[in-house]
Amino acid sequence: LNSFLQKDELGYLKWLNDIECKDFKSAHETLLNLGRNEEDFLAKRKTLLSLSKLCALANGDIDDDIRTNIRQIDEEQELILHQDLLPGEVLEEMGIDRDQMNVLSPVELIQLYICDKNSVATEYDFKKALDLMQFIDQEDSTVDLDIIKTSIWGTAIQRDISVWTHTTTGDPIDNVRDTIFFKTISLAVTSGSDPRLVLPSLESLLSSESLTPVSSNKQLQFYLGAVYEMVNTVMSG
Amino acid sequence: NQDSVDSSISEEDKRKIEAIDWLVFDVNQRHEALKQANALMRVFVALKKLDAAKAVFDKLPPDSVDVVHKSYLQQTGSNNLPRDDMNAIHEYLCMKAYLDAMDSFNDWIQHYHHGQPKQPEPPTGGTFTDRVAYEHRLKTYEQDHERWYQNLLMQTQTTKDHIYNVLLFPDGGWMADPSMENNDENTMDDNEDVDTKRSEQLQHLRSLTLPGLVFLLHNILHTSEQYQECLRLADMIASEQNNLYQVFREEELQRLLHLLRESSLKLLNNGKGPLGYEKK
């Protein structure tokens, strides 16, 4: 561990020296590595990556490798922005200090955006949770994307569970139009995604853990059936 | 020195500035006055003639934005200003933010260099009265210095805010026309030449002015020992939301990185990490 830390320290001093020697390409690479490995402070990771990008641009000769690096830095910064925009209320509830917070994984961010602590969560938070799925490492075998997807939608239903299980007459779509689940689908459509790709299958949604206590509720099954049918009709029509 | 400012106003400049007076009389011409004044200020700022730009700015009554809106409403019954008028208002507000920032920076320089109290020389003689007088002067100096430093911090905060106002100008950024989706029927077909030329001038002004402002901002942050904030300038400039890095030429980015390096070395000297973070 000690030798690793020393190497880390050296990296820190190396980019300063590289800038002094006008070796911006080398500074760019060192800073990129430091940024990717920084887990303790989100803000520090952000600045290391920003500096790395500026060094790449200062280098002038931008080859394909550097271009790829810059694109990856921009993606990383987008993820950092998602964490920066976490609602203050959630951070407070979780006892996280915004200025000192460590780097959270995409899965952790998804959970924070839609957890009960975010009591004022809207369709925008749920949409953000869905958007964050693209940042999850596909290679990571400990994460199951399908489970995460059904759990996001299941949690959305839980938010208005009394509406979904309340027996009424009239047009089923009209009855659930104001739920977060329905508004999240609308939001996905208006931002250009195909809801059939964003939604899990009706069966896996009903068998998801977050809906276990109510999955056999006939009214819920009826409403969801109506929503899925509407989505299919609208999108294929 | 590329940062130096030309404070002269030639006779010809004066005539151009005074011509604005003729456009200001009629409130229904105010949108035209705004456009002419903007065009003139653009040229003056590009030539670093800030006093001349300020003189133009002062020719426009402060309620001009309001007047443009009201007179359009009276003439057409509509609240939706044509796109070129909207752009002119945006540009006018950008110019105001810039002139405010430069004013504020000049106050800061003035305060920093000229307001700083001088430390008294210790007495060469050494009689008792000399020493007492010296100690008294030293005490006064310390109080003055403290007052000066507190004022400097306040002036630093104001200047910093004004410069950030320019760098992070809302609605598309400083001297960038805001995008308008609902106003497309109002594009100016007959004025396309003017429009292209104006866009080029605006873009030119961005790359001429914004890097310099970042260097000024670094200067005041570094001088007031806010080194961590110096390094965080990198975030603002590299961000895809602000697009500021695009107005920097290669040499300017290199200069910026050298300045950030200086701030980082100060942090290391103060026993912190190179970006100002303690170990967790």
DSSP state letters, A6-63:
HHHHHHHHHHHHHHHTT-HHHHHHHHHHHHHH--S-HHHHHHHHHHHHHHHHHT----
Is pLDDT of B133 > 80?
Answer: yes
From A43's Cα to the closest Cα of chain B, the distance in A is 9
Average pLDDT estimate for A142-171? 91
Query: Are A51 and B232 a contacting pair at CB < 8 A?
Result: no
At a CB cut-off of 8 Å and minimum separation 6, what does B186 contact? B80, B82, B83, B84
In this complex, the residue of A20, A43, A73 whose CB is nearest that of residue B261 is A20
CB B209 within 8 A of CB B169: no
Does the pLDDT value for residue A132 go beyond 80? Answer: yes
Check: CB of residue A84 under 8 Å from CB of residue A42. Answer: yes
B25 pLDDT above the threshold of 70: yes
Residue B240 phi/psi, 5-degree rounding, is -75, -20
B248-274 burial, b for 16+ CB within 10 Å, e for fewer? beeebbbbbbebbbebbebbeeeebbb
pLDDT of residue B1 exceeding 50: no
In the Cβ-directed half-sphere of B102, how many Cα atoms lie within 13 Å? 19
Average pLDDT, chain A: 90
On the question of pLDDT at B98 being above 60, the answer is: yes
Average pLDDT value for residue range A101-117: 94
Chain B residues whose CB is inside 8 A of the A20 CB are 258, 261
Question: Of A165-174, B91-100, B180-189, B266-275, where does mean pLDDT reach its minimum?
Answer: B180-189
Residue B37 has pLDDT above 50, yes or no: yes
Most confident segment among A27-31, A205-209, B130-134: A27-31
Sequence spans of domains, chain B? 119-269
Nearest chain A Cα to B231, which residue? A47
Q: At A141, is the pLDDT very low, low, confident or very high (cuts 50, 70, 90)?
A: confident
Residue of A nearest to B230 (CA): A47
**Alpha-carbon distances of B99 from A213, B58, B162, rounded to whole Å:** 64, 11, 9
Between B152 and A11, where is the model more confident?
B152
pLDDT at A236: 81
Q: Confidence band (pLDDT; 50, 70, 90) for B279?
A: confident
- Percent of chain A topping pLDDT 90: 71
Nearest to B202 by CA among B252, B256, B247, B161: B247
Residue A103, min C-alpha distance to chain B (Å): 13
Mean pLDDT score, A12-30: 91
Could you tell me which of B142, B177, B172, B189 has the C-alpha nearest to residue B242? B172
Which residue in B has a C-alpha nearest to residue A57's C-alpha? B250
Given a cut of 90, whether residue B87 has pLDDT beyond it is: yes
pLDDT for res A167: 83
CA B5 to mean position of chain CA atoms: 13
In angstroms, rounded to a whole number, what is the distance separating the alpha carbons of residues B189 and A205?
54
Q: Which of A52, A150, A53, A34 is nearest to A103 (CA)?
A: A34
Residue B261 CA to residue B113 CA, distance in Å, equals: 25
In this predicted structure, the answer to whether residue B97 has a pLDDT above a threshold of 50 is: yes
Q: How far is CA A8 from CA B77, B249, B271, B273, in A?
A: 66, 31, 17, 12
* pLDDT score, position A140: 86
Residue B96's pLDDT is what?
A: 97
Please give the Cα distance from B78 to B183 (Å, whole number): 13
What is the arithmetic mean of pLDDT over A132-160?
92
**CB hemisphere CA count around A234 (13 angstroms):** 13
What pLDDT was estimated at residue A4?
Answer: 55
Q: pLDDT band for A66, please (50, 70, 90 cuts).
A: very high
What's the gap in Å between the CA of B272 and the closest CA on chain A? Answer: 12
Average pLDDT over residues A145-167: 92
Residue B9 buriedness (CB in 10 A; 0-12 / 13-18 / 19+): middle
B contacts of A41 (beta carbons < 8 Å): 277, 280
Q: For residues B42 and B49, what is the distance between their CA atoms, to the nearest angstrom?
A: 10
Q: What amino acid is encoded at B60 in this protein?
A: L
Contact criterion met (CB below 8 Å) for B239 and B167: no
pLDDT of amino acid A5: 46
Q: Tokens standing for A118?
A: 């975010």
User: Does B238 sit within 8 Å of A54, measured CB to CB?
Assistant: yes
CA distance B269 to B273: 9
Percent of chain B with pLDDT over 70: 93
* pLDDT recorded at residue A1: 45
Class of domain B119-269: mainly alpha
> Which one has a higher pLDDT value, B192 or A230?
A230
Query: Mean per-residue pLDDT for B244-271?
Result: 95
Task: Give the gap in angstroms from C-alpha A234 to the nearest C-alpha of chain B.
Answer: 27
pLDDT band, very low/low/confident/very high, at A121 (cuts 50, 70, 90): very high
**In 3-state terms, what secondary structure has residue A120?**
coil
CB contact under 8 A, B245 and A22: no
The pLDDT of A43-67, averaged and rounded, is 95
Kindly report the nearest CA distance between residue B280 and chain A, in angstroms: 7
Does pLDDT of B104 surpass 50?
Answer: yes
Asked whether the beta carbons of B193 and B220 are under 8 A apart, the reply is: no
Q: Is residue B188's pLDDT more than 90?
A: no
The yes-or-no verdict on residue B187 having pLDDT over 70 is no
Task: Identify which has the larger pLDDT, A57 or B1.
Answer: A57
- pLDDT for B191 equals 62
pLDDT for the residue A77: 97
Residue for token pair 């959305």: A156
The minimum CA-CA distance between A58 and chain B, rounded to whole Å, is 5
Mean pLDDT of A26-35: 94
- Report how far residue B233's alpha carbon sits from residue B220's, in angstroms, rounded to the nearest whole number: 12
pLDDT confidence band for B125 (50 / 70 / 90): confident
Q: Are A58 and B240 an interchain contact pair (Cβ–Cβ within 8 Å)?
A: no
**pLDDT (mean) for B222-243:** 94
| Residue whose entry in the numeric block shows the structure tokens 């904030």 | B229
In the A/B pair of chains, how many CB contacts fall below 8 A? 69
Task: Please name the member of B245, B275, B280 whose beta carbon is closest to the beta carbon of A54.
Answer: B245
B139-145 long-range contacts (CB < 8 A, ≥24 apart) are: B141/B117, B144/B117, B145/B116, B145/B117, B145/B119
Per-residue model confidence (pLDDT) at position A226: 93
pLDDT score, position A7 = 59
What torsion, rounded to 10 degrees, do the Cα atoms B176, A55, A32, A113 define? -20
Instruction: For residue B246, list chain A residues with Cβ-Cβ distance below 8 A.
Output: none
Which carries the bigger pLDDT value, residue B190 or residue B278?
Answer: B278
With beta carbons under 8 A apart, name residues in chain B contacting A51.
Answer: 231, 234, 238, 257, 260
Q: What is the average pLDDT across A103-128?
A: 94
Between A168 and A82, the more confident residue is A82
- Partners of A53 on chain B (C-beta within 8 Å) are 238, 245
- Over 50: is that where the pLDDT of B246 sits? yes
The whole-number average pLDDT for the span A54-62 is 93
Closest by CA to A57, choosing from B239, B210, B254, B213, is B254
| Amino acid making up residue B262 | E
